Amino acid sequence: MDKIRKLTLLANFLAIAIVLNIIESAINVIPVPGAKLGFANVVTLIIIYVYSFKDGMLLTISRVLLVSVLSGKLLGPIFYMSLSGAVVATLAMGFFKKTNFFGMTGVSVLGSIFHTIGQIIAGIFVIGSIAVVAYLPIMLFLSIPAGVLTGIIAKKFYDIWETWHEALG
């Protein structure tokens, strides 16, 4: 029963993450080619806290793959940037969650920062030049409020989840 519930929830979360990701690519928040602030990371963060790092990573990779298939950008330059950003962010969030030093908002901000760094590193290879680093300051600067926002949303959800889960037994 628990297994089925988990599977259904993960599938729902994946759908939410995909929608968030597509909305995010449609609106131009930042003046950086191919880069995103990573609002879809909110789902990854929730999964890491609710289930495990492994589930979070699996969901993140599936999300990036499915979004790029749906938008026809599979294996294009933007795909590599998204993949690298999302994977690095998930690794960072998993690590900082495990150390238990920061709260959810802190973990989210750090994930956001690493999301940016991961994208820029992939960008260096995609473009073939370190010129992309010129975009790092503005992206890092914007990723802090983005990280705080996703952290607060994830925290709110997590609190509701905890009460709900206790009620269910």
Partner 1 sequence: MQNRNKTQNRRDIILVSILLVIIGSVFVYFNFFAYNQDSAVAHIYYGNSNDPIASIDFVNQEIKYRKQDVPNDYDDIYPIIDTDNRTITLLGDYRVDGRRQIVVIQYNFGAKSVKIIQESSPNNICSLEGTSTGKPLICLPNRIRIEFEKTYDENEPDFTV
Q: Which residues bind partner 1 (CB under 8 A)?
A: 28, 31-34, 76-78, 101-103, 105-106, 109-110, 113, 123, 126-135, 137-138, 140-141, 144, 148, 151
Give the pair of three-digit tokens for residue 114: 């690493």
Residue entry with tokens 């994946």:
14
In angstroms, what is the minimal distance from the CB of 20 to partner 1?
18
Q: Which is nearer to partner 1, 9 or 73 (CB)?
A: 73
Q: Which is nearer to partner 1, 44 or 112 (CB)?
A: 112
In angstroms, what is the minimal distance from the CB of 132 to partner 1?
7
In angstroms, what is the minimal distance from the CB of 90 to partner 1?
19
* DSSP string of 113-163, one letter each residue: HHHHHHHHHHHHHHHTSGGGGGGHHHHHHHHHHHHHHHHHHHHHHHHHHHH
In angstroms, what is the minimal distance from the CB of 129 to partner 1?
6
Secondary structure letter of residue 103 according to DSSP? -
